[in-house]
Structure 1
């Protein structure tokens, strides 16, 4: 199953960043979000007066403020211009969309969903708008919206069968072949297009990585790159693809039952695995207090990590999120709202583990099931007795939601073989370095492109991931 982002109807490449953006902004500016806007601009932004707030940012930037403040203002300005593109459904339109499936749905029920944080919203120039995929988010919890068509349950039995097999055999191996592609059809003749597509990276789960085919004149980042990708530079090509194969080996051990890995990965944690990585992995006062409460009385690092996992999987509900560039301090916001998606939950687990003295780090790439392929994020943590292990908080939270306690426990210490790991650090640089502003300044799962040094937005690219093969018989690969 392909995951595709669709171009705008005219297929044109927009001149600079979001519509109307004339300020140079780059991915590194987003590292300065926690500097904060001046209070006069922040009040406009929080009240939803985005047009006035953007104009105030322009006036401030004309005064050449201190570099870190200027970076924050550029990033915040960009976020405000992007916000209406994703929070695009008005209150009346949202109610009408629900009534198309659930005619009896009332305005009072809509307001109740807003009050209970079931629908993500923003005020934009005095009017409430909700996230464009709010219906998909509501379907995750069908009991709350009984009149809507529920989320598809296709594939659940197949997934659970695979997990049971993994547990009975103490692990599984799969050989996976994927094809990734990106195109920028709106680029004009003579313009230089650069493209990056994520590929499997060498890590403790993945090995035997082979590039089987790729668009000519491309290059591949080193196998240990933090955001591994194939890349191209061309003034003629507008479409790029790479096909690769890798082996993924996942062991299983029942951490809740007291078992420890038989072959632990004892690679020493790095200093960055225990420190802040602001603005999103930030040791805020609330996260410090929450973590202290969750791990109170626990001295063993494994017990601490498990307590954090238990708290998050039992309290944080899965909700679709806007692009992460629109989010504030991701881990702190999740701890306050108890809402998030896979990456939000992973960052919160990582942050709390680090506060608790447990080294933890990011992993992301794809979830590769036989019937679907899509972006996914999770985490790793380290204890002296286990070495590096995985935790997938969002899958654990989903298991709790579905009443599958065995599966919730599975995803502490274990993953599954339906993965592709491309990234081991949040907000890692691409190789070679991206020019301009990335579509996703934090992660690389679907690919990026730029035209004459200006980063392309989602609506300007066609991106696709195809599953070519997923097999367990290793002899078939040779």
Structure 2
């Protein structure tokens, strides 16, 4: 089914789309099954089969009714009102869909609002200062990299995956794919411990590297990895006047169904770059547009979004991966090589999934762009950090993926929860894959020291 993802570019029949948009998922599934019983073109058959997976996933992504969402906000934010939630819903700042005609909010709506709305964060009943400490930690790194020209850190991590009790089937064969560090700006990679013993691992330069487990599941079993690596980044300050006349054309292609030069993407790219010819300046214009106009927002599962970059361009919101993919798509659309990187952001204050981008300009080679970190800095008035994350990256990452939408080695038997990226791992039984809500993941920073 991984190869079938390209068929997401096929439009749904109107009657199915009407039912889906109104939240009548049962009705939409019934019409899909009726269509699949008929002699229909292969492209439509594949699209409808994918839509069944999307509907199964999306239903679990929006658990909060309006009343439940309001209570969560009022329990945590001082003097929060019903009118405020309505305004956040209508301005598309609180992600929602219709389910059987009722408004239902995304499971991450609260975290997204508190992260992106400084006015709401200021009204929290219980404030956590860790974000401020993490921000200062990154600010200090920027100044250190500028002063010394680079930064290098030894990092040791432990990660785990555990199937939730309600999804456990003790004695059944369980297969788990967990992310591992790849060779890139990372070196001296050592896999120190696996529990239980892994069956195999993909090569250290594989585009989406994983450790693969296959075992009979025990009650309460945990799958864990412990590894270490060295992350080394140099500071870049590329001069537009030194850009070479001849530029490469690799990594400028479309990649169905997401990295596509749709009519709107073409129009937007042309409007952003205008008559500019210098690729470094064009890339900066794209970065500026995204960081200044696309609001950071937690997202539902990527597998439920038909065209991720266009979603960001149309709705002007998205998380780190959505913003990164829009940057990549716009760069490629105007002839600038661009590609994906992702894995974890790792600091003493937090460890969690993160995505960003790379773009290529001669004679500087591959440079970094992190629109979500840059956008957050721009909103807070931190111009130094905003400028840093165009061309640069901090060393506090664990890079597991160097390509978007790449198959595992060995491949997963069933469609992945995230067919495009892998930051948290994937699980499956012999007869079905597990959904993200059926297993938990965790990260522990064991050691981090400057070299």
Counterparts in 2 of 1:259 and 1:209: CA distance versus 1, 3 Å: farther
- State the distance in 2 between where 1:141 and 1:418 align: 25
Counterparts in 2 of 1:99 and 1:188: CA distance versus 1, 3 Å: closer
- The question of whether the paired residues in 2 share the 8 Å contact of 1:345 and 1:394 is answered with yes
Counterparts in 2 of 1:136 and 1:190: CA distance versus 1, 3 Å: closer
1:378-400, CA deviations, whole angstroms, 9 ceiling, x for partnerless residues? 00101122111110010010001
Specify the alignment match of 2:236 in structure 1. 253
Q: Tell me by how many angstroms 1:258 deviates.
A: 5.6
- The question of whether the paired residues in 2 share the 8 Å contact of 1:435 and 1:453 is answered with no
1:128 to 2:94 alignment? no
Specify the alignment match of 2:6 in structure 1. 31
1:231 to 2:212 alignment? yes
Q: Tell me by how many angstroms 1:458 deviates.
A: 1.9
Counterparts in 2 of 1:103 and 1:176: CA distance versus 1, 3 Å: closer
- State the distance in 2 between where 1:450 and 1:159 align: 37
Specify the alignment match of 2:197 in structure 1. 216
Q: Tell me by how many angstroms 1:109 deviates.
A: 2.1
Specify the alignment match of 1:7 in structure 2. none
* 235-244 vs 205-214, which moves further: 235-244
The 5 A counterparts of 1:426-445 are: 426-445=404-423
1:424-454, CA deviations, whole angstroms, 9 ceiling, x for partnerless residues? 1111111100011222221111111111142
Specify the alignment match of 1:45 in structure 2. 20
- State the distance in 2 between where 1:148 and 1:51 align: 39
1:173 to 2:152 alignment? yes
- State the distance in 1 between where 2:169 and 2:81 align: 49
Q: How many residues align?
A: 441
Match of 2:223 among 240, 251, 260: 240
The 5 A counterparts of 1:317-466 are: 317-466=295-444
Specify the alignment match of 2:76 in structure 1. 101
Gaps of 5+ in 1: 1-25, 474-478
Q: Tell me by how many angstroms 1:32 deviates.
A: 1.6
Match of 1:195 among 168, 172, 176: 176
Gaps of 5+ in 2: none
Q: Tell me by how many angstroms 1:101 deviates.
A: 3.3
- State the distance in 2 between where 1:340 and 1:373 align: 20
1:233-273, CA deviations, whole angstroms, 9 ceiling, x for partnerless residues? 22356432222111111000223x66979xx9x99764xx1
Counterparts in 2 of 1:366 and 1:259: CA distance versus 1, 3 Å: farther
Give the TM-score normalised by the residue count of structure 1: 0.87
Output the aligned Cα RMSD. Answer: 2.3
- The question of whether the paired residues in 2 share the 8 Å contact of 1:176 and 1:246 is answered with yes
Specify the alignment match of 1:290 in structure 2. 268
- State the distance in 1 between where 2:391 and 2:439 align: 37
Q: Find the residue that maps to 1:208 and give its secondary structure.
A: strand
Specify the alignment match of 1:14 in structure 2. none
Counterparts in 2 of 1:236 and 1:147: CA distance versus 1, 3 Å: closer
1:141 to 2:117 alignment? yes
* 47-56 vs 147-156, which moves further: 147-156
- State the distance in 1 between where 2:198 and 2:62 align: 39
Specify the alignment match of 1:20 in structure 2. none
Q: Find the residue that maps to 2:422 and give its secondary structure.
A: coil
Counterparts in 2 of 1:100 and 1:259: CA distance versus 1, 3 Å: farther
- State the distance in 1 between where 2:450 and 2:422 align: 27
Specify the alignment match of 1:158 in structure 2. 137
1:200-221, CA deviations, whole angstroms, 9 ceiling, x for partnerless residues? 1012x11111111223242110
